[in-house]
């Protein structure tokens, strides 16, 4: 029974943190005139900044996918890869960020291609 409680607690923490990140984004959307592209960049840079300050890792340890799945998690991943690669020099900082994010970007491209083959997109009619 304790195993199920731990699993439920893990899901609750992920939902709470991921939901809070989405709530903040929704508040920004509702009360500002920022475009969605700027909001995405803001959240990605927030993930980079929080990882640079050493804060985001605690959030990842606490919430798991609730912190890594939103776009701020992508910024965290880039910053973490760059910091690890920077131990090998400036070139390592660039390649470290790219190699850290390569699996996620590759999966996104492949899934987009597969779904483009399966479904036929068409424009909406108003």
Q: Does residue 124 fall inside a structural domain?
A: no
Task: Indicate left, alpha or beta for 54 from its phi (over 0: left) and psi (-120 to 50: alpha).
Answer: left
User: How buried is residue 64: exposed, middle or buried, by Cβ count under 10 Å (0-12/13-18/19+)?
Assistant: middle
Instruction: Please give the residue range of the domain that contains residue 101.
Output: 2-118
Q: What is the pLDDT of residues 86-122, one digit of tens each?
A: 888 888 888 888 888 888 889 889 999 999 899 887 7
**In this predicted model, what pLDDT tens digit does every residue of 26-71 receive, in sequence order?**
999 999 999 888 999 999 999 999 999 999 999 999 998 888 888 8
Question: Average pLDDT, stretch 76-91?
Answer: 88
Looking at the structure of the chain, the number of domains it has is 1
Task: Return the closest-CA partner of residue 78 out of 104, 40, 42.
Answer: 104
How far is residue 69's CA from residue 79's CA, in Å, rounded to a whole number? Answer: 15
Q: Is residue 123 part of a domain?
A: no
pTM: 0.77
Residues 12, 59: Cα–Cα separation, whole Å: 14
Q: Report yes or no on 25 lying in a domain.
A: yes
The reply to whether 126 falls in a domain is no
């Amino acid at each position: 029974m304790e195993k199920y409680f731990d699993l439920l607690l893990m899901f609750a923490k992920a939902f709470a943190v991921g939901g809070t990140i989405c709530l903040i984004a929704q508040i920004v959307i509702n009360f500002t005139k920022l475009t969605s592209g700027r909001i995405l960049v803001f959240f990605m840079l927030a993930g980079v900044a929080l990882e640079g300050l050493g804060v985001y890792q605690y959030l990842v340890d606490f919430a798991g996918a609730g912190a890594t799945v939103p776009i701020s998690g992508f910024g965290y991943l880039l910053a973490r890869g760059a910091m690890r690669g920077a131990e090998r020099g400036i070139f390592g900082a660039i390649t470290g960020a790219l190699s850290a994010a390569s699996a996620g970007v590759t999966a996104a491209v492949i899934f987009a291609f597969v779904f483009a083959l399966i479904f036929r997109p068409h424009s909406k009619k108003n």
